[in-house]
Amino acid sequence: MKTKTIILATGNANKAVELKEMLGNDYTIKTMKEVGIDVDIVEDGTTYEENALIKVRAIAPYIKGSNRIAMADDSGLSVDALEGAPGIYSARYAGEHVTYADNNQKLLAAMAEIPDGQRGASFVCAIALILPDGTEWTGRGTVRGTIAHELSGTDGFGYDPLFIVNSTGKSYAQMGEKAKNAISHRSRAVALAKAHLDTL
């Protein structure tokens, strides 16, 4: 029986779908929107973990005393040849209010002259939790891959069509939702979060 509820401090519907898939068997998962929390969050941290904490702290006052767990995900793609860019700015790489396609085109252009062998990248996900007793926790999952020369695959979201996972040789977007969720940066961070929650 699911006895605990997790409220997700995200406005990203794609992330929410993946997190529900990963956690939904054990927890009741609701997005902040689904429980009526409408708060502007300014992500001005300098690391994935700092930004995840900023997000989760923003919703904590709304669920205080309710025995629910607050969770946030800050994630992005850190490309070796671009000194870690887009990194924590992954969502707005091509500017404010851009599409995933805009970001992918900017990344392809930035990588146009980078030869094979120097196209390594890490997909990173930091999860932050605030527990009902107010304690905070963060954990990080990382997956290594390379940046493709062109888009491939139709599943997933964001940079998935450009990120070729080292361990599978396929882009996240080619792998399909189930296979991506089995090995992704997000699922690795979630596994750490689950292990922490299991100790409580």
User: Which residues contribute to the site for ligand ITT (CB under 6 A)?
Assistant: 10-12, 15, 43, 55, 73-76, 90-91, 103, 156-160, 172, 184, 186
The active-site residue, picked from 74, 80, 116, 160, is: 74
**Closest CB to ligand ITT belongs to which residue?**
158
Query: DSSP alpha helices (H): ranges in 24-129?
Result: 48-63, 100-110
Among residues 38 and 198, whose Cβ is nearest to ligand ITT? 38
Which residues face 136 on adjacent strands? 130
Query: Closest distance between ligand ITT and the C-beta of residue 32, in Å?
Result: 9
Instruction: Establish whether 26 is a catalytic residue.
Output: no
CB-wise, 68 or 90, nearer to ligand ITT?
Answer: 90
Q: Nearest-CA neighbor of 159 among 186, 189, 193? A: 186
Pairwise CA distance, residues 192 & 73, whole Å: 13
Q: CB of residue 114 vs ligand ITT: minimum separation in angstroms? A: 19
Q: Least distance (Å) from ligand ITT to the CB of residue 3?
A: 26
- Rounded to 5 degrees, φ, ψ at 146 are -130, 155
In degrees and rounded to multiples of 5, residue 54 shows phi and psi of -60, -45
Which of residues 12 and 47 has its CB atom nearest to ligand ITT in the complex? 12
Round to the nearest angstrom and report the end-to-end CA distance of the chain. Answer: 17
Nearer to ligand ITT, 75 or 138 (CB): 75
CB 91 to ligand ITT: min, Å: 4
Beta bridge partners of 76: 124
What is the dihedral sign for C-alpha 91, 97, 99, 105?
A: negative
DSSP secondary structure code for residue 77 in this structure: E
Under DSSP, is residue 195 helix (H, G, I), strand (E, B) or coil? helix
Q: Which residues are catalytic?
A: 74
